[in-house]
Structure formats: structure tokens, C-alpha cells
Amino acid sequence: MTDTEQLLARVTSEARATRPWGWDSLPAPVDADALARAEDALGFRLPPLLAALYTRVGDGGFGPEYGLLPLLEGKSSAGEPAAVEKYLGMRGSEQGWPEGVLPISHWGCAMYACVDCRTDTAQVLLFEPNGGDPRHMWFVDSPSLASWLTSWLDGTGWYEEDNDDPDLPSWQDEHARVRPA
């Protein structure tokens, strides 16, 4: 079994055992057609691990805090729109949004975990517009989606109460890739 297969098995087990904010059941995975429609709407392909989460585990509803957003349709457990809808809306906003950076999870207070679909590792970024400095709203949450998921599963993410060092480094590509609409 590959490392990715082992990680997917752990995520599936945890996703079936817990629900964010009281959902009764895990949403069914999306089918290949829904994945293709999502990628067509976005204009880019999802990294393989992210695609596998949606097609093999469930259409959101699992993961840290409010859980992953649904991919193409519906609302999250916190009432947030699906990832594709959120991405397209933010790309058209005045503040701008980087191309290929898909919001996958809502932290509350307008904060999002996002996957940079342009990177080989599917780097996870934190969009945090509440920090007081509008020039710095993007941070590196994790160098890869795999390590981000592992941190969630192991209870070692920056968001955990017992984490003594929640400071995240600034995303160096922020100014080059974030352009207002």
C-alpha cells in the first residue's frame, strides 16, 4: 500500500467516525462527471490527492474545524458555498484572488484553508484577512496537502489549542499572484 493509499484510508476512517458541527452522515463522494464539471468551471485540474478526497472519501464535511467545503454544489456545514463557487466569486472580487488557489475549508471569520493547485505538492495556504495588514493576508499553512491532512489526523495543526507555535510564514508568492479583478 502506498503512502497516499494509507493516508486516504486514515482520512476515510476519521471522516466516517466524526462530523464537523453535528452532521449526521458523511456526504457521498462525487462521481467522475462532477469532478470533470468542477475542473472545467475552474479552468484547472485538481491535484490527485485532492481529487481522491472528493471522489473516494466524500463531498466535503470532514477535516479540521468546519470540514472541507463541498466541491461543486451545495453548502458546507457552516453555510459556506461549494469550493468552485467560492473560488469563482473570489476571483472576481475587488481584493483579488490568486489563480489556481482553491479554497477547501472555512475556518470562520472569513479565513480559508486553500490548496495551491499549481504546486506539485498541493501546498496548503491560509487566507487570513483579519490580521490588520492588508498587504499580508496569505500564509503557508502546510508544504503539502498530505502533510496538512496528517497534521489534522495527528492533532498537531496550528489551530490546535495545545500548539505552542501557531505562527505561520508569509506566502512569498502573494504579491506576484494576487491581483484585483
Tell me how many domains the chain contains. 1
64 close to 112: Cβ distance less than 8 angstroms: no
Across the strands, what pairs with 124?
A: 115, 142
- Give kind and range of the element (H or E) at residue 115: strand 111-116
Cell of 66: 468546519
Q: For position 150, which CATH number holds?
A: 3.40.1580.10
Range of the domain at 145: 3-158+167-177
DSSP three-state, residue 77? coil
Write out pLDDT tens, residues 7-28. 999 999 999 888 655 567 789 9
Q: What is the pTM of this model?
A: 0.92
pLDDT tens digits along 158-176:
787 766 556 888 898 877 8
Q: Do the Cβ atoms of 76 and 61 come closer than 8 Å?
A: yes
What nine digits make up the cell of 144? Answer: 503539502
Q: Return the CA Rg of the chain.
A: 15
